[in-house]
Amino acid sequence: MVDHPALEVTLVGGYYDMAVPLMATRDALRHAWLPPSRARLVALPAGHSVFADAPGRRAMRAIIDQLLRANANHQANPTTSQPPTRR
């Protein structure tokens, strides 16, 4: 994310997921010093496999569609013209 300042992260998880609890993911993001404005945590009313049923698949599709539209808009109207930095 340092090399790509426009990069944002969307994490999707099930509210009832006991294998990868959402609050643990949220805490891991905070400890990684990821700016909150560049991370989105989406909780779906599901367990670990949020896409196991039709409502979960519809929700995942809406999230992915939103990401693709945002990426297309970003590529059409980039906010930065600087190339990624190298470390």
Task: Please tell me the predicted confidence (pLDDT) of residue 78.
Answer: 59
- Which is higher by pLDDT, 52 or 84? 52
Please say whether the beta carbons of 50 and 19 come within 8 A. Answer: no
Going from the C-alpha of 61 to that of each of 26, 51, 53, the distances in angstroms are: 22, 9, 12
Quickly tell me which residue has 């090399």 as its tokens.
3
Q: Which two tokens stand for residue 4?
A: 């790509």
Mean pLDDT of the chain, nearest integer: 83
Q: Over the stretch 39-66, which tens digit does the pLDDT of each residue have?
A: 889 999 999 999 899 999 999 999 999 9
